[in-house]
Amino acid sequence: MVKRTSALSDALQLAWVRLRRSLTTILLTAFGLVAAWALLNLVIGGQCDGKCVVDALAQTLRVATPIAFAAFCGVLCERAGVVDIGIEGKMLMAAMAAYSVNLFGFQLLQDALGPVAAGNVSRWLALVMAVASALLLAGLHAVFSIRFKSDQIISGTVINILAIGITGYMYRAFLAENLPAGPGTFPLVPIPLLAEIPVLGPILFHQKPLTYLMLALAVGIYWMLFYTQWGLRVRAVGEHPRAADTLGIDVLRTRYINTLLGGVVAGLGGAWFTLEAVDVFSPLMTNGLGFIGLAAMIFGKWNPFGALLGALLFGLGNSVTATVSIFRPDIPSQIPQMLPYLLTIIVLTGVVGRAVAPAADGQPYEKS
Amino acid sequence: MTDSASPKGAVAGRGWFPLLQRVVDLLSMPALALLTAFVLGAVVILITSGRLETVGEAYWGLLRGAFIKQRGFSESLVAAIPYVLLSLGLALGFKTGLFNIGVEGQFYMGALAAAWAGQAIQGVPALVHLPVVLLAGAAGGAIWAGIPGYLKAKTGAHEVISTMMMNYIAFRLTEFIISGPLRAPSGSTIQTPRISPAAELWALWDIPNRLTAPLNALTLSLALGFGAWLIARAAGAGGQHAPDGASAHTGIGVPVSPFAGLIARITHHASRHLALVVGLGVALVSFVALPPLTRLWWPFTDEYDRLHLGLLLAILAAVGVWWLLWKTTIGFELRTVGANPNAARYAGVSITRNIVLGMALSGALAGLAGTVEVIGVSICRCLPLFFSSGYGFDSIAIALLGRNNPFGILASAFLFGAMRNGADLMELNSGVSKYIISLIQALVLLFVAAPAVVRWMYRIKAAPRAAEAPLTRGWGG
Q: What is the mean pLDDT of residues B156-184?
A: 88
Residue A172 forms part of a structural domain: yes
What is the interface pTM, i.e. ipTM, of the complex?
0.81
Residues of the domain holding A294: 44-348
Q: What is the DSSP string of A204-259?
A: HSEE-HHHHHHHHHHHHHHHHHHHSHHHHHHHHHHH-HHHHHHTT--HHHHHHHHH
Topology given in CATH for the domain delimited by B81-203+305-432: ABC transporter involved in vitamin B12 uptake, BtuC (1.10.3470)
Mutation choice for A interface testing from B394, B420, B475 by most A CBs within 10 A: B475
Q: How confident is the model at residue B96 (pLDDT cuts 50, 70, 90)?
A: very high
A20 close to A26: Cβ distance less than 8 angstroms: no
CA nearest to B433, candidates A93, A169, A162, A164: A169
Residues 157-196 of B with CB under 8 A from A: 157-158, 160-162, 164-169, 172-173, 175-176, 179-180
Residue A168 forms part of a structural domain: yes
Residue B339, pLDDT above cutoff 70: yes
Which residue on chain B is closest to A334 by alpha carbon? B172
CB proximity list for B26: less than 8 A, separation 6 or greater: B403, B408
CATH number at residue A127: 1.10.3470
**Looking at beta carbons, which residues of chain B come within 8 Å of A67?**
none
Instruction: Tell me the pLDDT tens digit for each residue of A127-181.
Output: 999 999 999 999 999 998 898 888 888 888 889 888 988 898 888 888 877 777 7
C-alpha distances in Å from residue A215, one per residue of A107, A247, B209: 32, 34, 68
Please report the number of interchain residue pairs, chain A to chain B, with beta-carbon separation below 8 angstroms: 157
Domain residue ranges in chain B: 1-50+433-464, 81-203+305-432
B230 close to B317: Cβ distance less than 8 angstroms: no
Instruction: Tell me the pLDDT tens digit for each residue of A84-130.
Output: 989 999 999 999 999 999 998 888 888 888 888 888 899 999 999 99
Q: How many CB atoms lie within 10 A of CB A195?
A: 17
Residue A188 forms part of a structural domain: yes
CA nearest to B401, candidates A161, A46, A258, A361: A161
A342/A217 Cα distance (integer angstroms): 27
Q: State whether residue B441 sits within 8 Å of chain A by CB.
A: yes
Residue B248, pLDDT above cutoff 50: no
Shortest Cα distance, chain B CAs vs residue A257, angstroms = 21
**Looking at beta carbons, which residues of chain B come within 8 Å of A345?**
148, 151, 157, 162, 165-166
Q: How confident is the model at residue B388 (pLDDT cuts 50, 70, 90)?
A: low
A312 close to A61: Cβ distance less than 8 angstroms: yes
pLDDT at residue A163, as a whole number: 92
Nearest-CB residue to B175 (from A294, A334, A362): A334
**Looking at beta carbons, which residues of chain A come within 8 Å of B157?**
345, 348-350
Interhelix angle B310-327/B72-95, nearest 10 degrees = 20
Instruction: Tell me the pLDDT tens digit for each residue of B439-474.
Output: 888 888 888 877 777 888 887 776 555 445 556 655
**Looking at beta carbons, which residues of chain A come within 8 Å of B103?**
none
User: What is the Cα B191 distance to its own chain's centre?
Assistant: 27
Residue A367 forms part of a structural domain: no
Residue A16 forms part of a structural domain: no
Residue B422, pLDDT above cutoff 50: yes
Q: Do residue A162 and residue B473 have CB atoms under 8 angstroms apart?
A: no
User: Count of residues for chain B?
Assistant: 477
Into how many domains does chain A fold? 1
pLDDT at residue B12, as a whole number: 43
Share of chain A above pLDDT 70, in %: 96
B74/B309 Cα distance (integer angstroms): 12
B472/B100 Cα distance (integer angstroms): 10
Q: Do residue A173 and residue B474 have CB atoms under 8 angstroms apart?
A: no
Q: State whether residue B445 sits within 8 Å of chain A by CB.
A: yes
Residues paired with A206 in a beta bridge: A190
C-alpha distances in Å from residue A137, one per residue of A254, B153, B283, B361, B445: 18, 32, 54, 34, 15
What B72-75 contacts at long range (C-beta under 8 Å, 24+ apart), as own/partner pairs, is B72/B421, B72/B422, B74/B305, B74/B306, B74/B307, B75/B306, B75/B307, B75/B421
